[in-house]
Amino acid sequence: MRARKTGIGLHSQCRVQRLQKASGLPGSSLHAKKAVLQTGLAAKIRLRLRPLRDSPEPAFFVTDDGYLLTCYHVVQDAGRIAVRTKAGTFSAKIVKSDKANDIALLKVAGKFPTLPVGLSRGMKLGESVFTIGFPNIELQGFAPKLTKGEISSLTGVQDDPREFQISVAVQPGNSGGPLVNLYGNVVGIVAARLADMATLETTGSLPQNVNYAVKSSVLNVLLESMPEISAKLIEPHPAKDRPFEDVEAEAEGAVAVVLVY
């Protein structure tokens, strides 16, 4: 009965107590209990699209001399990294990473098509976006796959301002792919989705296409911290209608495959 009065079930209370013990928070405050529970849930239900070793994941070029962005979890703990493009396969190295925001900047030698990194702050709820990736190559093949959707929310899990919630269908093989608007500007990087089983356990229902992308404002912070690289970035496209086939072709040309070993 006491558990019902607080609004936290017996199972949840046990989880709260475990989290409190690990965090050192006091046990007497109901607000503290709820805060700890929410913190634990955010980590549990936000599932990164973790790749299998030797499976392809996307990245995209932001400068024509070989700098490209992907998710940090794609290259985390990699012994060796290779990037495959239409021009061939190239050895890559990590130039800079931001583990907290799940982004990494790679470098390969050569000349490549690029995508402009735009401003995420101008995005609106319901605005159309798409990504290109390489999901489930064993079943779907190695050709790039495009999926389209909308901005479902201007914030991520528990209103995280660093992320968009998107209805673009994603799965392993989409981590690190660009989230592109209809003008052809990168407004985010595909990073995560709600975990099915953890969400079912927590809420009693399965999530329906609830996915997340790190905003381009976060990407720009990383890029602009290196003036020698930010000076090479191309200007975003103006907010003018373009034929979608042109926007898609430009994005496809700038997307590469990351292989980690």
Residues acting as catalytic residues: 73, 102, 175
Looking at residue 241, its amino acid is D
Name residue, tokens 């475990």: 18
Q: Rounded to whole angstroms, how far apart are CA atoms 216 and 257? A: 20
> Burial of 44 by CB count in 10 Å (0-12 exposed, 13-18 middle, 19+ buried)?
middle
Contacts of 112 (CB under 8 A, 6+ apart): 61, 64, 65, 66, 68, 85, 87, 254, 256
Name residue, tokens 């017996």: 10
Distances in Å between the Cα of 6 and the Cα atoms of 2, 25, 33 are 7, 18, 10
Q: Rounded to whole angstroms, how far apart are CA atoms 214 and 251? A: 18
